[in-house]
Amino acid sequence: MLDTLHSAASFIVAIGVLVAFHEFGHFWVARRFGIKVLKFSIGFGKPLWSRRGKDGVEYVLAMIPLGGYVKLLDEREADVVIAPEDLPRAFNRQPVAKRIAVFAAGPAFNFILAIAFYWVLYMVGVPGMKPVIGAPPAGSLAATAGLVGGDRIVALDDQKIPTWSVLRAELLDRALSRGDTAFLVAHANGREQTVNIDLGKARVDPVLLFEDLGLNPFEPPIPAVVGQVVAGEAADRAGLKIGDRIVDIDGKPVASFQDLRSQVSARPGQLAKFGIERAGSAQQISVIIGTDTSHGEAIGRVGLAPQRMATEGDLWQDLRAEVRLGPLAAASAALHQTWQVSALTVRLLYRMVVGDVSVKNVSGPIQIAQAAGYSASAGIGAFLTFVALVSVSIGVFNLLPIPMLDGGQILFGVIEAVKGSPLSERVQAAGQQLGMTLLLMLMGLAFYNDVTSVIG
């Protein structure tokens, strides 16, 4: 319950900031052009708070925190009474360039906000993990190229790779280009080697790309000593206890807790004999491995967690990394990061349309709220990174040439500028209906993905 409330609160804070900044972009540019603003609303539905400022603008905080809007003086609105002296300030009477600028300002402010957050993060220091890989599965592209567990990815095509987050973004970017990539790899003995991997052989879906590559973060071996037994799970039913050391499964040695997890995952629903050490004596316990299907395929699980150790933090110390830059370098990195995320979002949307990327990657408010909660729990840096990422996504989404969105209105404005007159009201109304239909379909897909993730 507390986790749910924490996620909801984090989501409301994040969306509130992003919506406010987006709508402030429309508001600020409209005011700079002398256009009269009637209402500035954060949220939809019933107003929770409302105040009319000295400037005549009604400021509103509404019940549903999933968006907002800025209402401008417009003669086309049937319910608006316009004084003759205000006619020059009506939005519909503005030159097309000004109207386009007002629509573009919202997404532009989302990009500006992302740049600002990334700039602060790079100056304070972005923590991460060094791109040291675990043992690639046999048959994966990394294993075929000769990479082994403990190798560190130093660079891709001369682009330095300091952390796993940078590696993921750069590999996804290159995978979308479907070409050979030169991996500069540092082996555990210090020797460096360059290997080429054809990313065209990997699926570009973000969920599947690293599976095809066989790249996963290296985990320091954790002793296979039971620290927690989940009540009602397979291990509990079989009689495993805290303090038991798992030695083997059906005679196959268990070298670490990660090895235990790997062996169990591959055997859903099977009967296995766990060789254990308990209080200095060897025993064998029969376990019927449980089955987890929440990830779309059957995976074995028994309900065990490892014993926490006083030195556990030290196991990861050598793998930690931090990217910290001066103000100018941080500004450059922030611009690059915002551009890269924007470009990746557009390319992934296109790949989703043509079927290369699963529509399961479309997230709704529930999954976004969960991500907001996780990032907030991880610290202010992780939360700001999350907000910056969502801010870029909102900016890109609103620039899509779909009527009802800023991008659709910009498209109408461009067509008007080219042809010298506005589109007919009938064409604009048909476009609005099409845009509404597309948005409802997209919202339905997002909510469907949310529901299936919750059920899973």
Closest CA to 225 of 265, 273, 272, 277: 277
Q: What is the CA radius of gyration of the chain?
A: 27
Any residues with CB less than 8 A from the CB of 127 and at least 6 apart, and which? 320, 321, 322, 381
* HSE value, Cβ hemisphere, 13 Å, CA-based, for 252: 9
Report the distance separating Cα 324 and Cα 381, nearest Å.
13
What angle, rounded to 10 degrees, do the helices at 96-124 and 327-354 form? 120
**Residues 267/253, Cβ–Cβ less than 8 Å:** no
Closest CA to 393 of 19, 9, 4, 5: 19
Token representation of residue 179: 């070409």
Greatest alpha-carbon span in the chain: 94
Report the distance separating Cα 184 and Cα 181, nearest Å.
10
How many residues are given for the chain?
456
170 is an active site residue: no
Considering Cα of 204, then 208, then 210, then 211, what sign does the dihedral take? negative
Report the distance separating Cα 14 and Cα 292, nearest Å.
32
Report the distance separating Cα 113 and Cα 443, nearest Å.
25
Q: Three-state DSSP class for 291?
A: strand
Q: Three-state DSSP class for 205?
A: coil
* HSE value, Cβ hemisphere, 13 Å, CA-based, for 240: 34
Report the distance separating Cα 181 and Cα 200, nearest Å.
10
Residues 79/82/88/89 CA torsion (nearest 10 deg):
-60
Q: Which of 23, 58, 219, 233 is catalytic?
A: 23
Q: Three-state DSSP class for 402?
A: coil
**Beta pairing class for 271-278 and 281-288:** antiparallel
Any residues with CB less than 8 A from the CB of 90 and at least 6 apart, and which? 35, 36, 73, 74, 75, 82
Supply the residues annotated as catalytic: 23
